[in-house]
Structure 1
Amino acid sequence: MTKLSIQVTHYRACVVVSIAGDLDKVSAPELEQTLTDLLAGGHIHLIADVSELDFCDSTGVWLLLSGLRRTFEAGGWLRLAGVRGFLQRLLELTRLSDAFPTDPTVAESLSHAPTRRSSPPTVA
């Protein structure tokens, strides 16, 4: 059985999504729904704390890439904090490590947050 734990912590100008356990084909829809809900709520600056991630397969990497693209298209960003182990090796092997802004810790990622919450873009 795939175990994934997701914890969402709201800060003034961004949201930290802490991901622990295994991110794979079976568990990815749970994280995808979390990201979708956050973006729908106007949260466009996201930090994915992956320091407690034990495993990530290609489905998980594609989901993180999708989150990166979706936040960018909304005028925001997605940063990875605490990349290590299996995910770090996977990003290096696939040459995707340069695609993601990364920080060693959540605290460092938080230093990149805007000083206030951005308004979601308006549709004309």
Structure 2
Amino acid sequence: MTEDLGTPATTGAGRPPALAVNVATTPGATIVSVSGDIDAAVSGLLRDRLAVELGLGPKALVADLAEVPFCDSSGLAVLLEIRTRAEESGIPFRVVTEQRGLLRPISLLHLDTVLEVHPALESALDSVRPA
């Protein structure tokens, strides 16, 4: 299932901001794949989508952000909020990205001590598979 979570507001370039989201389920995890920039215009929509999936009680929740070139503080706040909710529910939460626009702020803010970030989807899925 793919959703376009764009909003009617325009960006500085006159284009509407958009965030495409695809949700897939596997026997061991729900994967929320995102593409597009995550900023204040769309972070609330992303929060809602991740919260819905978390509320369905998956064995694990993976945010695949491999196609997200930019994420501002509102997007990072969403990831931290969802991670906290997941932990409270006993559900593993993983983030997938190799994008500098995400890795740099995560590292600078030491969020890599709180968020479990993986360079590839398979790595994230392996980390939640039972031994």
TM-score, normalization by structure 2: 0.81
Give the letter aligned to residue 70 of structure 2. F
- Identity in percent: 28
Partner residue, 1:19: 34
Partner residue, 1:6: 21
Give the letter aligned to residue 10 of structure 1. T
Partner residue, 1:89: 104
How many Å apart are 1:43 and its aligned residue? 1.9
Higher relative contact order (CA 8 A, sep 6+): 1
Q: Cα RMSD over matched residues?
A: 1.3
Partner residue, 2:9: none
1:55 matched to 2:70? The reply is: yes
Question: Which has a greater percent of strand?
Answer: 1
How many Å apart are 1:44 and its aligned residue? 5.0
Name segments (4+ residues, structure 1) moved above 3 Å: none
Contact 1:44/1:74 (<8 A) preserved: no
* Cα shift readout 1:5-35 (whole Å, capped 9, x = no counterpart): 1111101121111111011111012211111
Unpaired segments ≥5 residues, structure 1: 116-124
Partner residue, 1:113: 128
Unpaired segments ≥5 residues, structure 2: 1-15
TM-score, normalization by structure 1: 0.86
Distance 1:92 1:36 in 2: 24
Partner residue, 1:122: none
Partner residue, 1:103: 118
Partner residue, 1:64: 79
1:74 matched to 2:73? The reply is: no
Number of aligned residue pairs: 115
Distance 1:54 1:101 in 2: 18
1:28 matched to 2:19? The reply is: no
How many Å apart are 1:82 and its aligned residue? 2.1
Give the letter aligned to residue 73 of structure 2. S
